[in-house]
Structure 1
Amino acid sequence: MSDWCWEDPKDKKHYKLRAPHLERLIDHVDEGGNLNDYDDVPSDIRRDLILESQTGKKSKKGSDVTTGLSYPPISINVLPAQTAHASTAALLPSTPVSHESLVIPGSREQAVREYCNWLESRANDEAYKADFRKICQVTLDNRLDLELILDDPDAGFFVQRGIQIGTARRFLRDIKEWATAMRRQITLE
């Protein structure tokens, strides 16, 4: 049972948000959309809420079929984000990673390239591979290296530069695993 609703800014009517609506809102945010106030709810979700409400009134008269209970309107208080970075950072979990033993031979930019190649080699889909090439280029264009990224793992930084959230999180998450694999490989040689 959902306790969330959307308030139509025009007539102040409340529409109950069910799990499918919430999933679509999450997808909207994951794809870079904002939800800072009621006006930010995508129009297709608004349309579906209104249509479902009209259909539901005719058949259910405001009650839930399974429980027979009617739901009172619930307000969602939306706080404005301080900055675009702050709103993105609030939506993305930080990835705390320690780099005390991150020792990678060779140049820092070469390590970034090798790491991205390693990530790409673990993907089958061409779109995923292209994402890893893109995040590699963003990293190098911003003169970042793997140690700097581990010092301040910020998926929002990459998302703001057009990287998909999953790619950004994977990039941050697997650095230590890759460094460990590289150390083992060097030890075996």
Structure 2
Amino acid sequence: MAEEQPCRWSHLFRTGKKLRIDNSFICKEEPHGSRLVQQQDSHGSATARQLAQRDQLLETQEAAGQPRVWKDVYDVMRCNGNLCQGSYCYVDEQRKHIGLNTSILTKMVEYAEQGNKLRTHRDVLPYILDMIYEKERIDCERRAKRKAPGSESDRPIKIVNVLPSPYHSTAEGCTPPTSNFGTASPSVVDLTDLVIPKPIDRAVDDYTEWLCDQVEDDHWKAGFRSAGSIMKADCLDLRHVYQDRYIGYYVNQGVKAGITRSFVQDIKMWADSL
């Protein structure tokens, strides 16, 4: 199937068109019954084996009365027009198409598998929308850099590791990022009046518990503690977090958008109360 499709597009090559192929791989834990596929003859193309495994998985799910959630989600987000470079996109209320990657699609599938409704683009949750718009912002910045004079677009292509967020451990051999990456410019946030008379690491714990004291819901408390754990894992200073205001950093790691906004923006309120 996959091998035949390029042949069908051969006439486009002859007219000078360029071809871009995006492959999406869906990794799912197979039910016990689907392991029967692995006992079949191993000969044949990799695509044929993948299709056979997929069909076996779908048959097993249907026999057990399980809905094919991932397929339904992918069908909803599939782009049927020629406005997108990718195969899947989110269409906002202004009819703007925003490309989706596998990470975001996986979040949508997980949400739908919990029994939630995801039948149209309007059913996408706010925290997933934050991830979509954050990805679009990063993609726009990269496109702008490629179009800038003397950019890397004039040089040989290099393969680099794309970091998931501006904060990243230097243990992996990456250069620490600068502070010019937040949703608000560091020059806008004045740290002169932000005084935290505590050791940096203890301040993170105390601030996290202070936020937990402001709410009664255990899910909120767990969200604040999760954000605090992320801070400590990357050895971040509350002053720098308040200055950078990089909300997407926490959202991309699974913290709810509302929890993240409170965690980032209430630092000065807590410091003034000390």
Q: What range is the shorter-chain TM-score in? A: 0.5 to 0.7
Letter in 2 for 1:128: W
Distance 1:175 1:136 in 2: 12
Residues 1:7 and 1:152: Cα distance change in structure 2 (over 3 Å): closer
| Unaligned stretches of 5+ residues in structure 1 | 1-5, 38-79, 87-91, 183-189
Letter in 1 for 2:196: I
2:128 is the counterpart of 1:29: yes
Distance 2:209 2:127 in 1: 30
Q: Which residue of 2 aligns with 1:128?
A: 220
2:258 is the counterpart of 1:176: no
1:1-150 to 2 correspondence within 5 Å?
9-10=79-80, 23-25=122-124, 27=126, 29-30=128-129, 32=131, 81=140, 82=142, 93-94=183-184, 97-150=189-242
C-alpha deviation, 1:153, in angstroms? 1.7
CA contact 2:242–2:264 (8 Å) conserved in 1: yes
Residues 1:35 and 1:161: Cα distance change in structure 2 (over 3 Å): closer
Residues 1:122 and 1:25: Cα distance change in structure 2 (over 3 Å): same
C-alpha deviation, 1:22, in angstroms? 6.5
Match of 2:243 among 132, 145, 151: 151
2:253 is the counterpart of 1:161: yes
TM-score, L = length of structure 1: 0.53
Letter in 2 for 1:30: L
Letter in 2 for 1:154: Y
Letter in 2 for 1:136: G
TM-score, L = length of structure 2: 0.38
Percent same amino acid at aligned positions? 24
| Unaligned stretches of 5+ residues in structure 2 | 1-75, 83-90, 95-119, 143-161, 167-181
C-alpha deviation, 1:99, in angstroms? 1.8
Distance 2:215 2:246 in 1: 22
C-alpha deviation, 1:131, in angstroms? 0.3
Letter in 1 for 2:219: A
Letter in 1 for 2:126: D
